[in-house]
Structure 1
Amino acid sequence: MVILTKEKYVIRDSALIDEPASRKESLDVLLVHLPFYEYSSYQSPQLGLLYVASSLKAAGFKVGVLDDVDGEIWAESFVNLVNRHGPQILGFHVNTDSLPRVCRAIEILRKRKIEPPLIIFGGPHVSIEDRELLGKGFGSVVVRGEGEETIVQIARWWLRGEGNLHMIQGITYRTSDGEIVRNPDRKFISDLDRLPEPDKDLLVKQPKYNTFQILSGRGCPFHCTFCAEGLRSIHYRFRSPESVLHEIYNQIGDLPRAYLGVLDDTFLVNRRRVEKIANGLINTFGTDNRLIWFCEGHVDFINNNEDLFPLLKEAGLVRVQIGIESGSQEVLDLYGKEIQVEEIQTAVTILRDADIPSIFGNFIIGGAIETPVTIQQSIRLAKRLISLAPGRMEVSASMLALYPGTDISKSPSRYGLKVIDPQMLRCVSLQHPVAVTEKMGVNEILAAYSKFEQEVIMAYGEVIPSIPYQLIHKHLDFRSYGLTTHWSQLFLRYPSIKTYYRMLGCEGYHSIYTIDINKILAMVPYRTVKLLEIEDGHLAVKAHPRKIIFNEMSAKIYELCSGKLTVEEIIKVLRQTIEVLPPEPYLTEQVIEVLREMGVRFLVIFSDL
């Protein structure tokens, strides 16, 4: 057996490189994330890759991260970036969806004869299917599992001549004579606090939108049979509250407002730790929503810790994702969810009562033993949850994914599945079947998916009139933090709310919540509905979450909210045109109250000019 050596590896043709640029920006290691771009959906930087890069930086290597979160990297731009940085080691993060794109990128580099000396891979897909990838000849080393320690050893070996490749734990490599060697597994990192915090300055291409994210733990204590994170070989570990709070503050600093995504698959596990983090957030950022955040939680934890959520809400928690998957108890049991359907409803009720504005849950369509009956059970549960928490509960659906290493991918027949697309090549954003069941083929699953979506949309529409205006305002306000909920998108379909939100985003316009009520007489109200309608002889606004019908007095006030008169001038016009009016100060108080109610209902917005 011949161990991979630098001398025997194909070296790139330096004549094809822009030498001045490469000397100026050359890197030891370039780590690349080429995500499967999901149409217009926004994606955030791959946090795990930044952790790995930060470990390389701490070890003294010159490293950069190329993350195509905006979907703007194509063949020429990718080649130009590799040319510019001339890395000695090129590393790719690979998941099931991105694998074909990664392989094409390597082929392009080879055709241009600018393939870096060493190509390595990491990520959930290749950690399982390492031999398969290397056997196709796309690269030389796969990092299995966590990469922070492993990649530093690889860099030291390749760039400094330190150590031996066959002694590095947690890798699979291809020798120069084509043999695939799988070294022993590396132990999971037990002390996550000692890892460097991810450094966004290592991104060689900054994303359009700045995001704030954190991983406070790794792995998952639960073992859902369809989920790669719940593999029993992955141990659940978490960082100390002090480490988590330190990283959060380093990211947020003194920003006036920010939205943080806690990306752990299950943040809500250890109550004492969660309480310490929540209290730390309150002490650092206060309780006025300067920082709002999202996390995932298991139904059991929510139901067993109902009294915890008022504290989390005070600490800025605004969005919780829970795993639902199906409305069929039999399907849930096959997935290893260890919950009852009724417990899902209880968890949603607890989050609603704690005033968590956004609750999100996903259903799997076309999964284990799926039949028209189980589909209908899922639809009923989805509609029930929406009615339990109107304006809060969001549900979505996706097709079953068969990720390498999961029990459902290894033993599909046990789940009543026949795999038709093992490599998920037909699947876009989990929106196409990769397996069928005895009772449902591809066409039936697609039809069931459409039916689920249609029923959910109808359920949203049914509850919209009951949603409090304050909750609508919260969802719209979240957009200024960078959080777009499905409810905010629904509300913006109403012309008055769309106009209100657009004007509020312009400097000089104010909502009823932000103006000084003592100075309202000098403010200029603008109505957000340009063309008023008539119903039963009264002015009305019909395209609204709740149909608005004005009485005679409010109609006259609203007509005068043209953006040409101050509130004080409106009162004067009323006095000049209406014979019978209440005396002062009652008239002024009445007009202000009508305008306040109009502001709450998105009918007016105010300017000081």
Structure 2
Amino acid sequence: MTTATAIQESDLNQAAGPRVLLFFLQRLLFRRSYEFIEPLGLMTLAAYIEERGYRPGVFSGTVTEGAALLEREMERRLVAAVGLYCDFENRSVVEPFCRWIKDRWGLPVVVGGPQAVALHEDFLSQSGCDAVAIGEGEATLQELLDCLIRGQGALGDIDGIAYLDDHGCLVRTPERRLIAHLDELPYPRMAHSLTGVKNNLSILSGRGCPFQCAFCYEGGKQVRLRSVDHVMGEIRHGLRENPHVRYIWFADDTFTLQRERTAHFCRELAELRKEYDFVWFCEGHPSTLVRSPGLIDEMVEAGLARMQIGIETGSARLMDTYNKRTTPEQIEAVVRRCRDAGLKQLCGNIIIGGAHETDESLAETWAYVDKLLTLAPGMLDISLTLFMPFPETAITRCPKQFGMTVLDGEALTSVGDYPVAHTEAMDLPAIAMARKDFQLKVLHRMRELLAQGRVSHQAILDHYRLHAVYGISSVWHETIYAKQPFLHRRYTMLARTSARTSAEIPPGEWTRWRPQRVFSLWNAIAWEKGYPEVLGEVLSPLEYHLLLHCSGKLQVGQLTGVALEQFPGRYDSREEAEALIQKVLRSFEEKHWLVFHPD
């Protein structure tokens, strides 16, 4: 269609403006990002079109939930148009969902998002969508709505879109110019969200990325930075609007690009944290961080709790192939600085089965990752991804130059769980097995560091407190600590209750604190051999009776009385009994069996 049939004005709620719903949908719910953060792009679009007379709503979730929401909305009021976010993973959801909307109600539907550049005639024909918005979407979406809903102008006059003309031929209009002054955009509003209240706030401090990594479609775009004042205004607006926010998520690639700008953010965030209890996340590029001595310390001091850096490989040669513009030495230096600055969580990603991958390159990468994990036990999370042929990346355009063959360019066989491209040295099963092996090595090394006592008490407690107070999790927390039942229960109590360790008990108050075991005796103590054991460790009569009375109801001083009564004549003095009890209780503590509560 070159022009759209406008919806009758009488069908719209003119007082509030035409209703427009924007969706980010997936089939899989488990551990997807939309469970945690709002779709920032859609929230920004919503704020923009609201200023221009539309009434937006934003939903992120499963396709089933999205369909139910649209059914309810159509029962209560007429929805004038729908926008669908499309990325590499959810195209197979967007296409039939769009067709369902067109067949059921005939509503105008617009599709946008990072996958838009790869949507061609077949998608437009099969989905029935009216247009695909390519590139920055604010002005494009507004003009599309003006055309499709209000009948203003024609599709061919709108820059930055693709559509089918009256003959079913693909039309691509000229590229839309980027927004030069991002401070002119309105702040997103939680009122637009139809998903529910979250405890985090996503922020883009800039757009574009000066780097041109071969596997990424974000790189090489013109960098435009918002002013610090404008960003901080958005944060204050978000904190006032949603008092549940505890975690601010800087989602752009540009946050650490300019040292002075980042330092300015740190000063402003530090001041704001005097009014609100929150911590924050950002992405950092090793090459910029390593050139800014002291910056990581300033960031941590200002409340940085978690940062992500790109690692991708441990091979300097492959880093150059990926055009990462960083080195293994720079990444290692950043890990050291983060550790020394007291950063609680640092995360980095490794690509398995990427450019020129071989068994040898994977072995080199594993040795490098092992070194990084050992440098900062308990701090560094390693995530693994398989190479995916995202649209318009250097590798996707010319895979042979990177020693790769793409077999399934649309990833119809994968949800990130199986490779869709192979290298000259490794076929698909070999890459899949390599990913599993690498994951097992990472987890084994993490468990080993914990078992060796290389992970400090404070590092473990920091992870639990971040999770309890700010809703931030990590691989260490979920996959390592939480799998150790006694450790997990002990640190959960330390993070969430008044419980403390013996080292935190003030001098002279030891006898007034109440020890409490962290497990149920019926479940933890085995009697099969005729005597009490905990995890195969035989308890002496004193240890058993002390553990029995570590219910949180008796003070340490009262336990001494219990021991003297239970074992008369065993101790030469009360002082001797107190010393032995203190020794036993602290041995229990080292095994993560108990905590101490104040009187």
Equivalent residue for 2:499, pick from 492, 495, 510: 510
Gap change, CA 1:32 and 1:598, over 3 Å in 2: same
1:164 deviates by 4.3
TM-score (normalised: structure 1)? 0.85
Equivalent residue for 2:98, pick from 103, 106, 111: 106
Matched, 1:203 2:171: no
Equivalent residue for 1:443, pick from 429, 434, 458: 429
**Contact 2:542/2:563, CA 8 A, preserved across alignment:** no
Unaligned runs of 5+ residues in structure 1 are: none
Counterparts of 1:362-401 in structure 2 under 5 Å? 362-401=349-388
Matched, 1:67 2:60: yes
Give the corresponding residue for 2:487. Answer: 497
Gap change, CA 1:185 and 1:79, over 3 Å in 2: same
Give the corresponding residue for 2:3. Answer: 4
Output the CA distance in 2 between the equivalents of 1:79 and 1:57: 22
1:380 deviates by 1.4
Matched, 1:48 2:41: yes
Unaligned runs of 5+ residues in structure 2 are: none
1:202 deviates by 0.9
1:445 deviates by 0.8
Give the corresponding residue for 2:155. Answer: 165
Matched, 1:323 2:341: no
**Contact 1:140/1:175, CA 8 A, preserved across alignment:** no
Matched, 1:90 2:82: yes
Give the corresponding residue for 2:216. Answer: 227
Partner amino acid for 2:301? E
Partner SS, residue 29 of structure 1 = strand
Output the CA distance in 2 between the equivalents of 1:267 and 1:540: 54
Partner amino acid for 2:427? G
- Identity among equivalent pairs (%): 28
Give the corresponding residue for 1:361. Answer: 348
Aligned residues: 581
1:519 deviates by 7.3
Output the CA distance in 2 between the equivalents of 1:337 and 1:293: 25
1:75 deviates by 5.0
Partner SS, residue 4 of structure 1 = coil
1:330 deviates by 2.2
Partner SS, residue 88 of structure 1 = strand
Counterparts of 1:10-49 in structure 2 under 5 Å? 27-37=18-28, 39-41=30-32, 43=34, 44-49=37-42
Counterparts of 1:335-350 in structure 2 under 5 Å? 335-350=322-337
Equivalent residue for 2:202, pick from 194, 213, 227: 213
Give the corresponding residue for 1:527. Answer: 517
Give the corresponding residue for 1:484. Answer: 473
**Contact 2:46/2:58, CA 8 A, preserved across alignment:** yes
1:340 deviates by 2.1
Equivalent residue for 2:139, pick from 135, 149, 161: 149
Output the CA distance in 2 between the equivalents of 1:601 and 1:304: 43
Give the corresponding residue for 1:293. Answer: 280
Output the CA distance in 1 between the equivalents of 2:502 and 2:258: 38
Partner SS, residue 134 of structure 1 = helix
Output the CA distance in 2 between the equivalents of 1:236 and 1:605: 51
1:192 deviates by 1.3
C-alpha RMSD of the superposition: 3.6
Deviations 1:550-591 (A, max 9, x none): 9999887555322331334234435655633475xx998997
Deviations 1:102-123 (A, max 9, x none): 1111232344x3231x111111
**Contact 1:129/1:404, CA 8 A, preserved across alignment:** no
1:592 deviates by 7.9
Give the corresponding residue for 1:262. Answer: 250
Output the CA distance in 1 between the equivalents of 2:538 and 2:208: 54
1:89 deviates by 1.5
Equivalent residue for 1:457, pick from 426, 443, 449: 443
Give the corresponding residue for 1:414. Answer: 401
1:250 deviates by 2.5
Output the CA distance in 1 between the equivalents of 2:74 and 2:17: 9
Output the CA distance in 2 between the equivalents of 1:291 and 1:66: 25
Partner SS, residue 390 of structure 1 = coil
Deviations 1:444-499 (A, max 9, x none): 11111111111111111221121111110011111111111111121121221232
Partner amino acid for 1:460? M
Partner SS, residue 304 of structure 1 = coil
Partner amino acid for 2:268? G
Partner SS, residue 213 of structure 1 = strand
Gap change, CA 1:85 and 1:258, over 3 Å in 2: same
Gap change, CA 1:314 and 1:533, over 3 Å in 2: farther
Gap change, CA 1:187 and 1:514, over 3 Å in 2: farther
Output the CA distance in 2 between the equivalents of 1:330 and 1:444: 22
Output the CA distance in 2 between the equivalents of 1:541 and 1:295: 43
